Amino acid sequence: MGLLLALEGSWGCGGERGVSPSRLFASSFCRPGLARYLSNNHEEGEVLGHALVDYPEGGGSRPTMLGQTPEGSLEQLVPERDFANLFGSRAQDLLRLTNTLSSPQIGAWTKRLFFLLYSEADELESFLDDYGARSNQSYAPVTELVASIRGFSMAGLSLEHLIRRLDNYQVLESLSGLDADMAREDLTAARRWVQDVLVALLGEIRAEAERHGVPHPKEGHEEGESGFPLVRFRLPRDVGLEDIAEEEQRIAEVASKYLQACTMLDEGASGIIEEPAKRDTFLRESLTEETARVYTATVHNLQSTYDTYIGNTRLESADERLPKLRGHVSGSLHLLEAATQLVHFLERHESEVRDDGARSQLARLAPRAQVSNVILNVLLLWAGRLMAEGRVLAEDLLPSYTNLQVLDVELGEGLVLHARPISLVVSIVVHYATPVEFEVAGVTCSAGSILEMMIAAGSKSDEKRFRFRGDERPLRDIALLFHHDLGEGGTDTLPPELGYLSRA
């Protein structure tokens, strides 16, 4: 069985360009009986230098390429024994870093070391994928190990980043002293466990490399040997302090979306699950990789909105609640990032890899029960807890940055509050991203939910009067919508202030 080799370039045996295949096979640059390995990368061609061409002794007819494919094909198959040199050359940096990280004197890894390991693993994984190693029996275990190292490194990076910034984020101030200590201990233990798993994975990579005849370097990684002192001071915050138009509305938007994210994580919370089988069930039914990525993206978008519209503004500088809220968002985000990487590991590398040997190998190095325990009983648990502890800040900020009003409206003659106008009302609420309550004949619901509004309006279909409660900005546009007959003549008949509805 061989690995895939792309022949998109035309490097000669000595690295020269423009040499035709017929000249190449007879080239005097090649050793008798051997032709240099061809690649779209000159360095790789120089590194491998093994036979892909058999020449008959004493000359004779045109040689035959090993693993020859039909004429005109851009791909060849290279035997595993020939690929080992190329793999060994590309793996040297990771193997050197393995020496550094496996040293008992190194202690707890820094954020820099986690990032270096992620970078080296990411590059090596891309290289292996380029050559189809994931689908090759000999190199599939190596590829899965490298991919797992990449994922665990990202999880460790997120945890180390959070642990270093817990005090700056001010997220533990909202917890009791006992809970704050427990949070710090849980996160530190999880980070230490991730490091231990990575050490085991790196040891296995070394063994796999030796199995393929790859020499292990004796020296450590140059960048990994250097370090930087802990940061014990900060520069003054004097950049920007801009006055952004409608920044108060953005603060209200962030506070509102924060509360929505809290609800999302509350509904997806598992609590502490002691039994591994029950954890597996929860992961299979409630916290798939897709769900974990939705959680992470939601909180990441929240942080991005804050940084774009609130960070370094005068209001942020003047209101201490704002950076605290941002700290709760960031703390939860880093935990969800780590959780997503580990959920991916369970679903992709330990459960779905096609090579049984690779699967059992990964299960031995990172036991499923341990991984699920860290995901649910540490990362997801504290991600939800940190968001929940910031809820009081968001609830306090919302009325501070909104002008709560009550709007009473009445349907004009011949108008009905059916699905289309309700969708326009919901679009207005979504546009301003602040909560608005809808009331009809004593029945209340969220005006941001088309389903809830349909049920409420449908249950009181004879009613013509409605009430909205919320910030003055969405209420102002809702009043305009009703004044212009709910847009029943088409959105092009609405005033310019509601032009965004035609793009919704």
Task: List pLDDT tens digits, range 172-224.
Answer: 988 888 899 999 999 999 999 999 999 999 999 999 999 999 888 888 877 65
Confidence at 495, pLDDT banded by 50, 70, 90? very high
CATH 3.30.1340.10 domain extents, the chain: 402-503
246-350+375-399 fold: Four Helix Bundle (Hemerythrin (Met), subunit A) (1.20.120)
Structural contact between residues 286 and 343, judged by C-beta atoms closer than 8 angstroms: no
Mean pLDDT of 106-122: 94
Cα-only R_g, the chain? 30
**Residue 230 confidence class, pLDDT cut points 50, 70, 90:** very low
User: Mean pLDDT for the chain?
Assistant: 82
Return the pLDDT at 58.
40
Considering the chain, tell me which residue range(s) the CATH 1.20.120 domain(s) occupy. Answer: 246-350+375-399
**Residue 62 and residue 116: Cα distance in Å, rounded?**
48
For residue 468, list its beta bridge partners.
407, 438
Segments of 196-301 assigned E as strands: none
Report residue 479's pLDDT band, with 50, 70 and 90 as the boundaries. very high
Average pLDDT value for residue range 132-160: 94
Bigger pLDDT: 281 vs 59: 281
Instruction: Compute the C-alpha angle 165/166/168, nearest 5°.
Output: 65
Q: Where are the alpha helices (DSSP H) in 212-275?
A: 222-225, 247-267
Contact (CB, 8 A) for 380 and 187: no
229 sits in which H/E element: none
pLDDT of residue 21 exceeding 70, the answer is no
| 288 phi-psi bin (left φ>0, alpha ψ -120 to 50, beta other) | beta
Q: Which percentage of the chain shows pLDDT scores above 90?
A: 58
pLDDT, residue 5, reads 52
CATH architecture of 402-503: 2-Layer Sandwich (3.30)
Query: If pLDDT is split at 50, 70 and 90, which confidence band does 434 have?
Result: confident
Q: Which residue has the higher pLDDT, 153 or 53?
A: 153
Identify which has the larger pLDDT, 61 or 172.
172
